[in-house]
Chains A and B, each alone.
Chain A
Amino acid sequence: MAVPADLKYTKSHEWVKIEDKVVITGITEFAVKALSDLVYVDLPEIADLTEKGHPYAEIESVKAVADVHAPISGEVDEINEEVVDNLDFLAHDPYGKGWLAKIQISYPDELPSLLSAGEYEKLLTTQE
């Protein structure tokens, strides 16, 4: 299971790339595999506010609907509209073309609580 070293992670299987005043976020390869058979992605609107740990998007698979949780509190800056029509981006390239949203950081002091790649890998070993 790929866990790129340059990204940060959440316990609910989102990844985060910190870029100055915004983060790019999506769901991890583990989450994609666990969901399987993706049907639909419901993304927020630009300028929607997110709250750390609360759902901001939904992913529907054949079996179930899963919430995607905001890794930080902030404001949605940009969404990946291409992924809505190309779920393969998410299925096959979750850390690249399958990104979901860019969020403006409201509270920089939330960032240190994100997991490092090493910490996230350790979490995964307890879930398999």
Chain B
Amino acid sequence: MIHTPIHDEHLALGARMIDFFGFHMPVMYSSIIDEVNCVRQRVGLFDLTHMGRIEVSGPDRLEMVKAAVSKNVKTVPVGAARYGLLLTDEGTVKDDVLIYREEEMVHIVVNCSNRQVDHDHFLAHAKGRDVTVRNVSDEQAMLALQGPASERALEPLVETDLSELGYYRFLRTRISGTDVILSRTGYTGEDGFELFLPPDQGARIWRELLSSGADVGMQPIGLGARDVLRLEAAMPLYGQELTLERNPIEADVTFGVSMKSEFTGKGALVRVKEEGSSIRRVGFVVDARRIPRTGMEIFVGGEQVGWVTSGTMSPTLEKVIGMGYVPVAHSETGARFDIDIKGKRFPAEVVEMPFYKRER
């Protein structure tokens, strides 16, 4: 199994470890609920080195990224990050990514499970263009600080006035003497930062962040809590809400699509838009303490009409929540259906997403 530069820190902290797409990663340190609360109320530290990172440079870089990603990179200001999708020719989702536009380079952060697929996607779009595509996943460590106290925890170590760095903006700076790329992004629905740094400095910066954050109650956070946090924020996860079978209209992620741009999969999306799609991603709450799990079936009357993609007990809302696909006719807020949990039907109701939204 692959070890990130932070691996030994996880072991020393007593984390419970799992195999996550070939990486030996922490699933929890204390408990999932405790870690979710820590991020919602204070600040948590994550090792995200397993995520994939791709750099695109050269004169044709903007043309190439524009063709490869559904969000038009040319409309992204230098110094900003945006959410976008890599699509098949059929308009279905290969991956969801963040693109970071720098003066001379575009950085792309991709899902761990799709490192190779995405690298190939960009290489295919690089043919005949004057660009260099580099998979730099193994040349960087990636950490995240998430939670309302993120800025206070990071401030003492960073050579930048963080109050000047807006949401979905990034810059190059130094943290504790090390050159990093620092962005105000995340996958939890909280304020926070993600940082990209040399792997040989990863463990040292991890320790310094934990000790600097001790004053504001910082804890390390595992992948278990990360999944609950993103679900409370109704953020889709590749492999669950987003797959090669679903398109961005069904998945309700059209904020990641620039319909005026030209990109792989656009023709198919235009057709889906004209013809209309029959199903939609929804968020629902279940009035029971049973958790709907991925793949469980959704019924209206006696008929199976949809399926669950994710579910959990939300510690923040103290409710059982989930997401899934249902026919458009049953996707309005307030619509009701039943979920089959191990042979028993439990009523659920469609609610507005996100389930949780921070106060700004």
Contact = CB atoms under 8 A, between A and B. Distances in A.
A60 interface: yes
Interface stretch (B26-34, B109-117, B136-144, B195-203): B26-34
B313 A36 contact: no
B289 A40 contact: yes
A39 interface: yes
A37 interface: yes
B32 A37 contact: yes
The prevalent SS among residues of A at the interface is strand
Nearest to A36: B31
B33 A37 contact: yes
Q: Chain A, interface size: which category?
A: under 10
Most B-side CB within 10 Å, residue of A36, A37, A58, A65: A37
Contacts of A63: 27, 32, 224
Interface string B278-297: 00000000000111010000
A1 interface: no
B224 A40 contact: no
B313 A62 contact: yes
Interface in A11-59: 36-37, 39-40, 58
A65 B312 CA distance: 12
Contacts of B27: 63
B228 interface: yes
A36 B291 contact: no
Interface in A55-74: 58, 60, 62-63, 65
Given A36-B28, A36-B32, A39-B291, A62 B312 contact: yes
B2 to A, nearest CB: 22
A58 B291 CA distance: 12
Given A60-B290, A63-B32, 13 more contacts: A36-B32, A37-B32, A37-B313, A39-B313, A40-B290, A62-B33, A62-B228, A62-B291, A62-B312, A62-B313, A63-B27, A63-B224, A65-B342
12 contacts: A36-B32, A37-B33, A37-B313, A40-B289, A58-B342, A60-B289, A60-B290, A62-B224, A62-B291, A62-B313, A63-B32, A65-B293
Interface of A: 36-37, 39-40, 58, 60, 62-63, 65
